[in-house]
Amino acid sequence: MKVEKSDEEWKKSLSEDAFHITRKKGTERAFTGKFWDHKENGIYTCICCGKELFDSKTKFDSGSGWPSYYEPVSPDAVSEEKDTSHFMTRTEVLCHDCGAHLGHVFPDGPGPTGLRYCINSASLDFKEK
């Protein structure tokens, strides 16, 4: 289900950090977020709209300082777009339902997908299993 809100509306329900990162494509500093070293069993959800995004079973320690997963929880959990900002060509990862900026995906992850979804903690919430 698509979710559309104005910046003013998002600001009411998000912290300043979460608003900046999810709605303005910001990035938290490595090793500062609440989930990079988080190891509980459960589902990581979108901080903006609550959509289920990543299962803890697919989380791995990438050494990057950001929570990293080898695949989304379902094929329609995220959208991907080409991002050419900051003089790099990367693939941006967004919440499929509300368009929240989550992070980027890189082709240097572990099996079975070989992908590394490098996600900002501030874009996520967590539901314990």
Residues that bind Fe ion (CB under 5 A): 46, 48-49, 51, 95, 97-98, 100
Give min distance, CB of 49 to Fe ion, in A: 3
Helices (H), ranges, the chain: 7-13, 16-24
- Which residues participate in catalysis according to the annotation? 118
Nearest-CA neighbor of 53 among 66, 61, 44?
44
Assign 34 to helix, strand or coil: coil
Closest CB to Fe ion among residues 51, 116: 51
Please tell me the distance from the alpha carbon of residue 116 to that of residue 56, in angstroms, as a whole number: 14
Give min distance, CB of 47 to Fe ion, in A: 8
Give min distance, CB of 23 to Fe ion, in A: 11
Show the tokens assigned to 85. Answer: 């900002």
Q: Which residue type is seen at 23?
A: R
Closest CB to Fe ion among residues 47, 115: 47
Closest CB to Fe ion among residues 6, 89: 6
